[in-house]
Chains A and B, each alone.
Chain A
Amino acid sequence: MKTLLWIQGLTCNGNTQSVLNGENPSFYELLTKVRLLFHPAVSYREKLHNVVERIKKGKEKLDILVVEGAITGDERFGRAGKYSITELLDILSRKAEYIIAAGNCASFGNIPALYSGNPDVRGLQFRFEKKDGYLPPDFKTSSGYPVINITGCPVHPAWFTQTVMAIVEGKDIMLDRFNRPKELFMYLPHDGCIRNEYFEWKVESEEFGHKEGCLFYNLGCRGPLTHAPCNKVLWNRVSSKTRAGMSCLGCTEFDFPLRENYFETKKNIGIPEEVPLGVTKRAYITITGVAKTLKNERLTKKLEETD
């Protein structure tokens, strides 16, 4: 059975919370497929120090190292027992067969990397868009994979378990340019959004929480610009932000904490500055003009009032 060790850097614990909410399989079901060496929120008999020492001496194999949280070498900001986060990584990154960055902080540095009081905060292999993480750009574990980034703020439990299961089953994992599993991150929240018809006909939501309207034009929705299967693999298996009438915040992308005004679409002279992935601004404006002219009557009413 493959072993799994979960360590934390600078983190709010959100990814742990999220993964503990996993269903089909639940986190505890997952532990029948892998042997958990240590998790800071779950393990109480085992001490991290002892696990690390055993791995260091080759007495314990480390198959999957999961890192949650951003990385810093500065012990004033984060350490685990007697180790600084980077000391821990120096030991474990050489031994692990796979390394998974769980969430945006371990992947990109995310919100902790914005802190001006500590310039030494980064992700495992990236710092925001650049391959300027703690581990070298060409770093690979013994499996031949770089750090596998499962991004999100937080990570979705199913994205995490699915990736771990792919490793356990020995499947090939195709990665995108940010080293995220393609199988998950080739989708956009726009794919499967129940508001797609409103998007097509450019009928906009004016308020949050309504069933009607698209949130892209006015309310800052990043669904058409973000890589994440939020409307394919639903949250808590029932919903997603856009289904509930709330804009996608683009939390799986490196620039998530770098943007401002999350609930407002950035426009210049009334025209959106950014357009959906895959289309030119010229094409988008053309199709928008046509769609706005040719009205879909059904979409102008409250859903309850439609035939």
Chain B
Amino acid sequence: MSKIRKAAKEEKKKEIVRVACRLFAQRGYYNTTIPDIAEEMGMSVGNLYNYFKSKEELAKYIMQYSSRLLGEEIRKINEENIPTKEKIYKIVRKFFEIGQQQPELIEYFLRVFLSNREVFEEGCEGFLCVQEVVTELMLFLEEGARKGDLRQQDFFPAFVTLMGPLGGMVFLQGEKVLPKTPLEYSDELAENIWRALKAD
């Protein structure tokens, strides 16, 4: 395949991901079919199968795609030469920014990935499909503790303290009970996470 055709195919794949992600998040995984996605894309079902062999494959790909996207953003923050506290503020803000710009990605994580575990059993075990995000957060936490800014502890309590509140906020937004947008709560939440994780 020529380079240009390959690039065009990649572009198309991204488009399918965005559309499918939105439909899955809105209607649920089982209520969305490949013909629904093809119709929304304005392409034939047969052609869509050229890009993804099955709905399951597409579902997993979406997860890896979002992980790469968010992982890349956290990586940029990780590589900045700024204090640990500021990094927490930036990570939280970035998470909610993505949530505001591409709400389907976060919705997908909560309402498809976490709610339909059977779909992701094979190929997305453990952290396999969210590897980039987890890796970047591990690097962030390790560096913070190495510099003496964060309290030493096991990885998982620290990880949940960082990520749990973010998911919680987005969940509440999905339930339409938040008076403000998550982004408006960003600094307050970041402060809480910082205080919970910081060294004494």
Contacts and interface: CB of A to CB of B under 8 A. Distances in A.
Interface of A: 268-271, 273, 281-282, 285-286, 289-290, 292-294
A281 B126 contact: no
Given A270-B154, A270-B156, 7 more contacts: A269-B144, A281-B139, A281-B142, A282-B135, A282-B136, A285-B135, A293-B128
B135 A268 contact: no
Contacts of B143: 268
A293 B135 contact: no
A17 to B, nearest CB: 39
B62 to A, nearest CB: 19
Contacts of A289: 126-128, 131, 134-135
B50 to A, nearest CB: 28
Nearest to A281: B139
Contacts of A281: 139, 142
B154 to A, nearest CB: 5
Contact of B131 (A268, A269, A290, A294): A290
Contacts of A286: 131, 135
Contact of B125 (A269, A271, A293): A293
B141 A271 contact: yes
Nearest to B155: A270
B53 to A, nearest CB: 22
Which 3 pairs show the lowest CB-CB distances between chains A and B? A270-B155, A293-B126, A268-B145
A268 B197 CA distance: 13
Contacts of B146: 268, 273
Contacts of B152: 268-269
Contacts of B136: 282
B141 A269 contact: yes
A285 B141 CA distance: 12
Contacts of B126: 289, 292-293
B108 to A, nearest CB: 21
B142 A273 contact: yes
Say what secondary structure dominates the interface of chain B: helix
Contacts of A268: 141-146, 152
Nearest to B130: A289
B59 interface: no
A282 B139 contact: yes
B145 A269 contact: yes
A131 to B, nearest CB: 28
Interface string B29-63: 00000000000000000000000000000000000
A269 B154 CA distance: 5
A268 B152 CA distance: 6
A271 B135 contact: no
B139 A269 contact: no
A271 B142 contact: yes
Nearest to A273: B146
B138 interface: yes
B2 interface: no
Contact of A293 (B127, B153, B156, B158): B127
B139 A285 contact: yes
Contacts of B141: 268-269, 271
A290 B128 contact: yes
B190 interface: no
Contacts of B144: 268-269
A269 B142 contact: yes
B150 interface: yes
Interface in B74-94: 75
Q: Which of A269, A270, A273, A286 has the most CB of B within 10 A?
A: A269
A271 B128 contact: no
A271 B127 contact: no
12 contacts: A268-B145, A269-B138, A269-B144, A269-B145, A269-B155, A269-B158, A271-B142, A271-B155, A282-B139, A285-B139, A289-B127, A293-B127
B6 to A, nearest CB: 25
A286 to B, nearest CB: 5
A270 B158 CA distance: 10
Nearest to B125: A293
A178 to B, nearest CB: 26
A292 B136 CA distance: 17
Contacts of A269: 138, 141-142, 144-145, 150, 152-155, 158
A292 B125 CA distance: 10
A282 B126 CA distance: 18
Q: Which of B142, B150, B153, B155 has the most CB of A within 10 A?
A: B142
A273 B146 CA distance: 7
A282 B138 CA distance: 9
Contacts of B156: 270
Contacts of A294: 125
